[in-house]
Structure 1
Amino acid sequence: MHEEYRSFYSHQLGHNVEMLVFGDWGYPIVVFPTSRGRYYEAKDFKLVESVQGFINDKKIKLYCVDSVDAHTWYAKHLHPAERVQNHMRYDAMLSQELVPMLQHECQVDKIGVAGCSFGGYQALNFAFRHPEQVAYLFAMGAAYNMEQFVDGHYDENFYYNNPPAYMRDAHNEHFYQMNIVLGTAEDDFCKPSTLHMSDILNQKGIRHWLDIRPGSHDWPVWRDMFPHYLSQI
């Protein structure tokens, strides 16, 4: 399996962004790490290995991107408004720098996004904020209400990064073209949040697959889910 380390300078963030890329050709899938995780996490926990067949067959190309969680949602030393502002810069890096790079490199109009746990929030939030850039969303074991991260603070920027809030009023034709999977497990503590998000999508008539499997909030469940989801592409 072809593996490549990459680093590129982000003008939105003001520093380099690191990532691991797996595969030399295929449909691009951006994989977000879990809470405060790094770009090599998906490799270390064998999530990449679970989909190696798709990579070797040149069906997909994985881009495991770094997070900036320590400067955003988990930055308790910063005012909540600044945490959200820093996340907005990360979002701008993704939409204005990374995605155009992948569109050009892989010759596609839209990409796929995926993530487990907090990475599932990152994937879903990016997909729903930029549905014109995303064709596939695979969120596994995630919670989506971000109120616990902002200590009671609420402003417009936070609203537009809290999917259970903004999705109730959001309207975009690309939502109805997106292939969406919300994966969870019977004993996953994030299951209620996943069910809530599924209810919101159902109310809006947005087609999606709510996948509930045996198990808990852990990598073995996600390693079982991920290849099944990619097989749907």
Structure 2
Amino acid sequence: MAGQRVDLPVPGRDASLGVIRHGHYGRPVLVFPSEGGRAEDFVRHGMLGAVANLVEQGRVTLFCVDSADRTTWSDRSVPSEERARRHHDYTRWLEKSAMPWIAGELGGQHELITLGTSMGAYHAVDFALTHADIAPLAIGLSGSYDVTAWHGWGDRGDATYFANPTDYVTGMHGAHLDWIRSRVSVLLVAGQGPLEAAPAQALPSSKKFADLLADKGIPHQLDVWGPDVEHDWPWWHRQTAHHLPRFC
């Protein structure tokens, strides 16, 4: 089932990032890797095998993308605001290169599920909340949803605010909030085992973000797994296999 990598240009830069498609039919899922990961990681870490039946049955088509974390949130040599600006460059790549390519593969634009693990969960949730017209459902596994908790430094400005779900959801109101309520659903999954609370912050961040979504009336579900559930791939296999069939 392994697909072929396609490299697509990053707008305004002499660089490219990759996309790999797995599957021939079914609901499209945009898959973000964990921190610093690549499109190949979904296969490399066994995630494709965990949902192989859905792919083989034509229930999902997976579009796995590269991250740009090494030059954005993971580059701690630059202040938070610059990291956020670079993150917005990554978002423009998704908008201007990845989304048109995916639409071409599908024969038109279709509503996406977004899915990610660890830092990829942040990307999945952020993309859905900021692109609700094309991605009305986000599944975040073991994510942290406040970028200011990621050892940031320097002055914070608009770039950080609009890249930080905890900030911009707090600020949502009026007609835009009503539209988000009508369009988006967010599923947050976290365990209570090793690394989920510290250093990953996935458990407390998922709980806090779920409370914020509840306060804003945005449809969501928080699914907390047991004390043996670690911040690691074997558990993300099980969580994906448990939840994804519900939506396709």
TM-score (structure 2 length as normaliser): 0.87
Q: 1:175 to 1:4 in 2, by over 3 A?
A: farther
Paired residue secondary structure (2:170): coil
2:47 maps to 1:35: no
Deviations 1:119-173 (A, max 9, x none): 0011111111211120221100011111134214311110111111110122341
State the shift of 1:186 in Å.
1.9
Contact map agreement 2:47 2:237 (CA 8 A) in 1:
yes
Q: 1:130 to 1:149 in 2, by over 3 A?
A: farther
| Mean Cα deviation higher: 52-61 or 17-26 | 17-26
| Mean Cα deviation higher: 77-86 or 122-131 | 77-86
| Mean Cα deviation higher: 103-112 or 39-48 | 103-112
Superposed structure 1 runs of 4+ greater than 4 Å apart:
none
Gaps of 5+ in 1: none
Matches within 5 A, 1:58-73: 58-73=58-73
Aligned match of 1:208: 220
Matches within 5 A, 1:36-55: 36-55=36-55
Distance 2:20 2:104 in 1: 18
2:234 maps to 1:220: yes
State the shift of 1:191 in Å.
0.5
Identity %: 25
State the shift of 1:12 in Å.
4.6
In proportion to residue count, which structure has more strand?
A: 1
Within the candidate set 160, 163, 166, 1:161 is matched to 163
Contact map agreement 2:118 2:142 (CA 8 A) in 1:
yes
**Aligned AA (1:198):** A
Deviations 1:83-122 (A, max 9, x none): 2211110011112321233234323432111101010011
Contact map agreement 1:71 1:86 (CA 8 A) in 2:
yes
Contact map agreement 2:181 2:217 (CA 8 A) in 1:
no
2:87 maps to 1:87: yes
Contact map agreement 1:13 1:89 (CA 8 A) in 2:
no
Contact map agreement 1:128 1:175 (CA 8 A) in 2:
no
Contact map agreement 2:111 2:135 (CA 8 A) in 1:
yes
Aligned match of 2:190: 184
| Mean Cα deviation higher: 180-189 or 167-176 | 167-176
Contact map agreement 1:131 1:175 (CA 8 A) in 2:
no
State the shift of 1:7 in Å.
1.5
Gaps of 5+ in 2: none
